[in-house]
Each structure stands twice: as structure tokens, then as C-alpha cells.
Amino acid sequence: MRLTTRIAVGAVVAAGVAAGALFGGILRGSGPPQPAPAAPAAAADQALQGFSLGDTESLVAQLQQTLRQYPNDVLSLDLLGLAYQQRARETGDPSYYTKSQGVLDKALVLQPHDLYATSGLGSLALSRHDFGQALQLGLEARAISPTTARNYGVIGDALIELGRYSQAFSAFNEMVSLKPGVASYSRVSYARELRGDITGATAAMRLAEDASRGEGEGQAWTLVQLGKIEWTVGRLDQAASDYRQALRVKPGYVYALDALAQIYGARGDYAKAVALEQQAVDTIPLPQFVTQLGDLYRVDGQEGRAQQQYQLMGAIWRLFTANGVRTDLDQAVYDADHGIHLDQALPLARAGQRARPSIDGDDGLAWALERTGHCQEALGYSTSALRLGTLDATKFFHRGMIERCLGHEEQAKAWFERALKLNPHFSLLWAPVAEEAVA
């Protein structure tokens, strides 16, 4: 599943203006902040797009200082709320989401219909996987400013996760017509990828990469996304080239480290893979990084070290849940993949799919159903998960397991072969199972 790396493209795309230039005029002066009219929009855009604002920790401290002197300054509250979200992305600490909620709520109390607070809360809802709330806030932001492109990004991202694909794609088309750029091109790319159009997805993401040139993290992000598209169809050499280029653009970029670790793992170089993944985990202990590190240890025969990583996952889920992040679907898939807590995996998957009736929600529930022996019901959800024509080896493999569970050996073999043809290395844990099934 791709939510943990993409959140429906909700935490992506860069404006690329230096944070000092954006915030300097806002934070200086003896009176309440009085930025030039374009400055708050530029600052909000940069913060909402999920890339570094520079030294975000220092910016948070400066904004907090400003608010101690001017506690009701709405713009400073807006920017602090967005900076808290960036700190969550930079550190992996979801407690910043709770802080962001508090200051953005205060901004709206002081100034109802404030665009930046409304957009910021929509972005926050996406990060917390509360897609119904994100859609409502996106629509409210659009009502405030129908010509602001980012509002259509929030709306489209939420609609994707709610399984309302035609409406989501229309929102992305409106976004790109209003403001062609990294944000809109990357969403068009994702929409095409969902429909199985790999060539079109690559072309759109290359437009995003062109638009991000010189923007540091923004360009690194687009290069990683290009690599992930290549990975999807098993082109490991090209994917690795994209990831290495991302690391040249932004040394130590954790998403490139994680992705390159996946390449080395697929090639059986577990020592190199572990070293890269450990570097990513040490920087930001995101669930997908910790999981992949554990899986690398497992396939390398280091079961004790694998279990150490897996044991961290319970604490991570609890921390995210305590700060308002819905983890039910992700946790259910993790449990189903690793054969643990299967008694709780199915109810978690059902709750997750109800809140997120997308192809990923359907596939997650199908997998939990198969792992717990409810294979006839799983078949229906798997069929729904494949309804867009998405090229996803993991979904193909899940369908094969469901068919095998139902005793449909020929159909199962066909789905396993389809998964392996698309990407023979789609999963450290499960690709070998598919290979054995077709041998």
C-alpha cells in the first residue's frame, strides 16, 4: 500500500522560495506583523506543500515568540500551525499534529473563513487520514477562494481516498488549469498511474521534476516518485538511477534512502540495504521505514533483529493514534503481512475500509479477509480493488492468494504470474511465495 509514502499526494510539491525571505518580513518589526500582500500566500503555499521551510525548528521558535507578544495575530497562528505540520514530517513525531490543530483552530475563532487556517486544517486532516474531514475543509477553502489551486489538491486527495475517482480526477484537472506546476503535475501523474497509464504517469511526473529544478527537496521528491513508477513495473536500474540522483540533489534525503534500500534488498545485497534503511530510520522513524528494516533483517536470517524492529511498531501505532492519526487500515495490512494479531487485523481492516473505501481500502480488507480464511468475501473486495486497471503487483498477488484459498488453482497461478511479470521483486516477504507457487 502506498498511503504511508504518498498520503494521496497530500504532503507533496514545492514552491521553493527561501524561508528566510518569506518569514523575515513577517517576524521583524516592533508592531504586529505586517507582511507584503504576497508574502503570506507564498509562505502558506510553501508550508502546505510539505517540504522544508529551511530551519523549521528556528521558525517555530520565532513564531512562538511573536505570538507571545501578539497572541491574537492570525497570520502568525496560521504560519505556526503549518510549521508544526512540517515539523511532524521532519521528525516523524505526530504530537506536532495536535499542536497544529490547536493554533489553527484558534486562528479560525479569531478570523472565521480564514483561508490559510482552513487549508491548513484540510492538510492536517489528510495527514491524519481523516479523509471525510479533509474533503469538507477542502470544499470550505474552495468556497472562500475558488481560484486557489491548492484547495483543489486537498479536495482531490480526499476524494481519491474516499473512492470517488472521477470527481478526484476532475479536481486535479481544475488544479492544473489554475496553476500548472509540481503540485498539480504530480497529482495528474498519480491519477494516470491509478488507471494503469504508466507512460502518461511518467510524462506528468517528468513535468513536475522539470518544474522543481533548483528547489532542493522538491526536486528530490519528484525524482523519488519517478523511481517509484519505474519500480512499479520492475525497472530496477532506472529506479535506482532516479533515487541516486535524488540523493545528489539532496544528500541524506530519507525517502530516497528508503527507496534505494528497497532496490538493494530486491537484489539480495542485504548488508547495503540494511545500512541505508537504518540511516532512514535513524533520521525519521516512520512506520514504513521501521517495517522495511525489520523485513530486511528477516529475509537476511537475522530474526532477533527483525523482531526488535517489529516490536517498535506497537509503540508507533499508539503514538499516532494518540495524536489523532487513523492507522487502522495500515495496521491491519501490517498485521496481515506479518501473521500477527490476526484476531484484530480483520476488524481494523473493516473499520479502515469503511472510512477509506478506495482501491487501497478494498485491497487491505481483501487481504485481511484472506489471511483469516474469509476468502469468498475477500474475492469481492479484491475485484473492487482492481476496478481502475491499476498496475500493482501486490494487489495481483493478493488476488492470487484469494483464488488459491478458494481452490481455483489455475486462476491463482495466472495472478501470481501476472504479479511477477510486472515486478518480480514486489515484496521481500511475498514475492518468494509467488515464485514457489508458479514453479
CB proximity list for 4: less than 8 A, separation 6 or greater:
286, 287, 288, 330
Query: What is the model's pLDDT at position 214?
Result: 84
- pLDDT value of position 43: 54
**Global pTM value:** 0.89
pLDDT value, residue 55? 79
Q: Give the per-residue pLDDT at 11.
A: 41
Would you state the cell numbers that stand for residue 263, as one nine-digit string? 532496490
pLDDT tens digits along 18-28: 232 233 333 33
Count the neighbouring beta carbons within 10 Å of the beta carbon of residue 427. Answer: 17
Phi, psi of 212 (to 5 degrees): -100, 0
Give me Rg for the CA atoms of the chain.
Answer: 22
pLDDT digits (tens, 9 = 90+) for 373-384: 999 999 999 999
- Give the three-state DSSP class for 52: coil
* Low-confidence spans in the chain with pLDDT less than 70: 1-54
Residues in the chain: 439
- Determine the Cα angle at 41 with ends 36 and 44, to 5°: 125
**Domains within the chain, CATH numbers bracketed:** 1-145 (1.25.40.10), 327-438 (1.25.40.10)
How does DSSP classify residue 51? S
Cell 490547536 appears where?
102
**Amino acid present at 125:** A
Give first-to-last CA distance, the chain, whole Å.
Answer: 26
Quote the CA–CA distance of 395 and 34 in Å, as a whole number.
52
Collapsing DSSP states into helix, strand and coil, what is residue 130? coil
- pLDDT of 216 reads 83
413 contact partners, CB below 8 Å, separation of at least 6: 400, 437, 438
Instruction: With CA atoms as reference, report the closest residue to 14 among 211, 229, 205, 256.
Output: 211
Residue 3 grid cell: 498511503
Q: Amino acid letter at 235? A: R
